Amino acid sequence: MILATILHLAPGSPRVLRAGAALLLGLHIGGGLVAIASGGAALVLAKGGRGHRLAGNAFFVSMLFMAGIGAAVSPLIHQPGNAFGGLLALYLVVTGWMAVRRAPDTVGRFEIGAIVAALAVTAGMVAFAVAALNSPTGSIDGVPAAAPLIMATVAALAAGSDLSVILRRGLHGAQRLARHLWRLCAGLLIASGSLFIGQPKVFPPALRGSPVMFLPELFVAGMMVYWLIRLALGNRLRRRPPLRRATGVPAWS
């Protein structure tokens, strides 16, 4: 919800502009709220079930609205950091979604475009961080240099992952699911952080600055780690040689 306080126009502005701003603001905020709710539901629902698929679809579409509007509008209102943040969220969600939509062991133009997008976001975030470090306050528009540096690191790691997928000619099995999982969870972290940490004024004064505001982010991160471990352990167990039941001696002895 990076535009919650920006798209409010002066009362004397043309009616068309005010209506357009209100529509964009509603879609941006509404998309963020739906993304947080549906993304959280997708994390706890049985994977592969109907509920999980419905929640995942709702999360994907709502994130497109939230991040897409943020990325498109921010340059027009001189908020470059928010623009790159929106682009990073879009990139993570789209590539995470495509990880399970693409056929296993398949690469093509999409993966090449993905790595270009990730590198562009990385470069933009690094430039923003350098500008913040060189400013008298160590920040730009109240955003400290640490924030874009963290996002640049995430984008760079994602670009490295994209390169690995291209060199390996695609993914299959648990690796494909892990790519889907961590990228969508990273997008959900951006959405929840934008609300609970980035917009404290929409919450009661008692909660502003409280550690409670970090609980949603910790929940998402914890669930992501949990499912990644589940995937890794499940993949390792499937690779174990079967027991020799006739003799009762393990095949690896």
The model's pLDDT over 164-195, given as tens digits with 9 standing for 90+, comes to 999 999 999 999 999 999 999 999 999 998 88
The answer as to whether 102 is a domain residue is yes
The answer as to whether 156 is a domain residue is yes
The answer as to whether 176 is a domain residue is yes
The answer as to whether 3 is a domain residue is no
Contact between residue 81 and residue 148 where contact means Cβ atoms under 8 Å apart: yes
> Other CB atoms closer than 10 Å to residue 198's CB: what's the count?
18
Q: Look up residue 117 and give its DSSP letter.
A: H
The answer as to whether 229 is a domain residue is yes
- Which tens digit of pLDDT belongs to each residue from 54-68? 999 999 999 999 999
Range of the domain at 97: 15-234
Query: What is the pTM (predicted TM-score) of this model?
Result: 0.83
- DSSP string covering 82-104: HHHHHHHHHHHHHHHHHHHHSPT
- Which tens digit of pLDDT belongs to each residue from 186-241? 999 999 988 888 888 888 888 888 899 999 999 999 999 999 999 988 766 566 55
Q: Based on the structure, what is the number of domains in the chain?
A: 1
Q: What distance in Å separates the CA atoms of residue 55 and residue 41, rounded to the nearest whole number?
A: 6
The answer as to whether 174 is a domain residue is yes
The answer as to whether 244 is a domain residue is no
- Which tens digit of pLDDT belongs to each residue from 111-142? 999 999 999 999 999 998 999 899 888 888 77
* Whether the predicted pLDDT of 40 surpasses 60: yes
Please name the residue that has the structure tokens 């999980």. Answer: 52
The answer as to whether 179 is a domain residue is yes
